[in-house]
A and B are shown apart, each in its own frame.
Chain A
Amino acid sequence: MTPKTDEKKGFRFYTRLNLSGLTGLKAATLEELLQHIKEVPGSCIYHHTHRFLQQHQYLSPEPPNDFAYWVTHILGDDRLGEDLASIDTVQFTTIRELREKIVTVIEEYLKKYPSAKRRFVNEEQAFSFIKSMSFILPTHYIASNLREFIEILRKVTIDSIYFHIFEARLRLEKKSNDFSNWIESFLGDKELAEKIAQLDPYTQTLEDLRQALIRILERKLK
């Protein structure tokens, strides 16, 4: 089941709450990291490429995925860390494609710099693989026009914004985000929908993203 917006009633805001599951899998070298990245469930890849968005929203600037953070700050390989941080997550519409990209980046790096395989960390600093379990709930907020939509956008949790922008796009494999979909199909404003779809949500905090959305939508009202 996928949450649906009843267009007659307007846009219902959902929220997405996350519970982190542990796998007991750990990596102390790049080869171990690579091996696990190939084999872990998709919910693990999702967790490590999206967790920072909510958990570290005040620790900006942070690398946009846990793999980049660990490789740079714990394993001490700045060059590979930069390659991993530069992966343009917004381009990928499935977790499978994103996983393949991460694997390719590490494999190519190890081919080019085989000595990187010798780097290791102690047990306490090993990378721990975590997976996400998401719970999606309808909130009581429903917008029937753009003005109401903006007002609600000011009030909802960052988890709700996260759900409609990120979860809908990548994990649920929708081509665009929920906000753009609704604005185009219900309000019939393709231009506005595209403007929102063009935002790169991975390079700003969720609070900044909220403000950016509100600014774009308010301009439309004027």
Chain B
Amino acid sequence: MPKIDDYIPIVGQSVIDDLRLLADHLKGKRIQHINSTAVGGGVAEILNRMVPLLKELGVNTHWDVIKGGEKFYDVTKKFHNALHGKEGDVSNEELATFLENGERNLKEMDLSADIVFVHDPQPITLVKKKKENKWIWRCHVDVSRPNPKVWEFLGKFIAQYDASVFSAPGFSPQLSIPQFLIAPSIDPLSDKNKELPPETIEAVLRKYNIVKDKPIVTQISRFDYLKDPVGVIEAFKQVRKYIDCQLILAGGTASDDPEGQKVLDEVMEKAKGVPDVHVLLMPHNDIEVNALQCASDVIVQKSIKEGFGLTISEALWKSKPVVAGNVGGIPLQVTHKYSGLLCHSVDGCAFAIKQLLNSPAYAKKLGENGREHVRNNFLLTRHLKEYMLLFLSLYHKEDVVYL
């Protein structure tokens, strides 16, 4: 696991000095992160990196995961889709399942930290045990058009928190509690983002029977309707009429996502008979994801809804040109025609891929601009800084705080 000083060559000594200055002001505070899965998905990935670094900086931090059965995760997946605006009702019985699971966790968990930091809706009801300590609710999903019933249900709990955090300005609802804007981040030193030797990349391609004899277009994402993998295959079919290239659709499923297999089956069906499509169900393996991204000529993230879409920052950090859906936090990462191309449809996606494959110099420039944008805004060090500021903000009401 990297140490905080290992980031100096990437972000500079002074950035790390600032982190230490901030950490000094949090001495004596206990911070507890709570989410619903230890592996898979962006939240777990960030916490896995962030918690050890906060500890190294001297901030007393620990991370707990709530327990829940299959029935509970079916409901929370429905919540997730409903918050993203997907049609469909959530029944009262399902709401009851959600509450019951919360009660079970409430009985078992110690929630006495000075700051309890709850991620996403799954553990949201734990706030019932709030005492004099501070509670933050961190929303990682796009709630710009949530299902009103689910949002109203969650709203009663959100109102009990001291502060909330959203990933993009467009997600911000009108709330009675303070709201902060904190984008997620990638770790440049993690297995998923560190520089790889060419032999490693070649070995991964060999493992998945991919021959780099033609350009590679890749989408790496969980198999999820909101990531539109079927739309990517349709776009690829349009591109392939004019350019000889291949498509990699790779991803896994998170332990709290019961829908993954169904989506994968649909993707396999759609890919049947389409030449040069590689659908890879990968176990959690960051080096392999990194290698596939590095081997790609264009990286696609054709999401229909997106909490943030960190795969974009991962691709840009590798200086890869990207084509991405103009949703959620993606436009924060991609400035159209400057650090990538944004699209709204299958046709738009296909057109953008063709443009990039046909204009390698333009594609290269977009990738380079993207890397600098990520260095400046979406690395873990910026995220660490903002989380520490968030913790400090709980103890100050003024706009300008002198520490």
Contact = CB atoms under 8 A, between A and B. Distances in A.
Interface of A: 1-3, 15, 17-24, 41-43, 55, 57-59, 123-124, 126, 128, 130-137, 139-140, 155-157, 159-160, 171-172
Contact of B386 (A19, A123, A157, A159): A19
B179 A24 contact: yes
Interface in B3-28: 12-15, 17-18, 21-22, 25
A15 B21 CA distance: 10
A19 B13 contact: no
A59 B180 contact: no
Interface in B171-222: 172-175, 178-182
B388 to A, nearest CB: 9
Contact of A140 (B17, B179, B393): B17
B335 A1 contact: no
B49 interface: no
B285 interface: no
Contact of A21 (B174, B181, B335, B377): B181
Interface string B361-403: 0000000010011001100000001100110110000011111
B21 A136 contact: no
A135 B403 contact: yes
B2 interface: no
B377 A136 contact: no
A58 B376 contact: yes
A22 B13 contact: no
Give the residue among A132, A133, A156, A172 with the most B Cβ atoms within 10 A. Answer: A133
Contacts of A3: 402
Contact of A133 (B21, B339, B393): B393
Interface residues of B, number: 43
B181 A130 contact: yes
B117 interface: no
Given A15-B21, A55-B376, A139-B21, A123 B393 contact: no
A58 B172 contact: no
Interface of B: 12-15, 17-18, 21-22, 25, 144-145, 166, 169-170, 172-175, 178-182, 327, 335, 338-339, 369, 372-373, 376-377, 385-386, 389-390, 392-393, 399-403
Contacts of B172: 22-24, 128
A124 B170 CA distance: 7
A22 B402 contact: no
B330 to A, nearest CB: 11
A136 B401 contact: yes
A102 B386 CA distance: 30
Nearest to B175: A24
Contacts of B327: 124
Contacts of B145: 123
B29 to A, nearest CB: 15
Nearest to B401: A135
B402 A136 contact: yes
Given A59-B373, A156-B14, A157-B15, A20 B385 contact: no
Give the residue among A22, A42, A43, A130 with the most B Cβ atoms within 10 A. Answer: A22
Contacts of B180: 19-22
7 contacts: A17-B18, A20-B180, A20-B182, A21-B178, A136-B403, A139-B17, A139-B21
Contacts of B175: 24
Contact of B399 (A17, A22, A24, A132): A132
Contacts of A171: 400
Given A24-B174, A58-B369, A137-B403, A130 B386 contact: no
Nearest to B374: A58
A124 B179 contact: no
B26 to A, nearest CB: 12
Contacts of B399: 41-43, 131-134
A15 B376 contact: no
